[in-house]
Amino acid sequence: AHSDWQHYRIDSDFLKATDAWQLSLGLPDGVFPVDAVRGAPVKVKIRDTVILSGRVDSVTRDVSRRGVTLSLSGRDDAAILVDCAAPVFSARQLNLDEVIASIVRPLGITRIRIQASGMTRNDRIHIEPGERAWDALARAAAARGVWPWLDPDGTLVIGGPDYSSPTVADLILRRDGQGNNLISLSDMRNIQGCFSELILLAQSHASTT
């Protein structure tokens, strides 16, 4: 484990396939860790909380008059679903468990949790040659009104947002500075891609109020 990081960055988006991370570590002794190699498994923690589980994609070693620096970057465990193509097949009337068995499990992801009920079967599933495993999984999940994502411990979750869960945190930025927990806030508004009519389609994981 390494703890004296100079800089870290976590890029996380619910609608993107993988979460990315970057870390930089200064090495006063000038000795690069032997375990910092491409493909090495990684758990990114803030204090004792696991933020992300994945693997190292790239390793950069910098040597200059200012010192020796090690920079690592990578993605979470969903990266294999982005880098690998799904097995080519065509089938009818598959439930989500059967889709997972055909697309996800062959790539080594075994910790899977489905948190949705009452999902319908697809009339037809067809995987094109070279189609990414993540794209095939996301398409099959979206047809059932759910979405895939990875928990910090590397578990693949397929379901919908829990609208009844409590608020995780409050972001505060007051002009008087009292109780602030934000350093800065940006608001950007753009007219590109705006539509005169917006239609929202509810799916099976939603609930009526």
pLDDT, one tens digit per residue, over 31-90 is 888 888 999 999 998 888 899 999 999 999 999 888 888 999 999 999 999 999 988 777
pLDDT band at 118 (very low <50, low <70, confident <90, very high): low
The pTM is what?
Answer: 0.74
- Overall average pLDDT of the 180-199 stretch: 86
- Residue 19's closest CA among 57, 47, 60? 57
Q: Which two tokens stand for residue 165?
A: 């869960």
Confidence at residue 72, expressed as pLDDT on a 0 to 100 scale: 93
pLDDT at 206 over 60: no
Q: Are 8 and 22 in contact (CB under 8 A)?
A: yes
- Overall average pLDDT of the 156-171 stretch: 85
CATH numbers and ranges of domains, the chain: 5-76 (2.30.300.10), 83-159 (3.55.50.10)
Q: State the DSSP H helix or E strand holding residue 22, giving kind and residue range, or none if neither.
A: strand 20-26
Strand bridging mode 156-159 / 112-115: parallel
Q: Are 69 and 25 in contact (CB under 8 A)?
A: yes
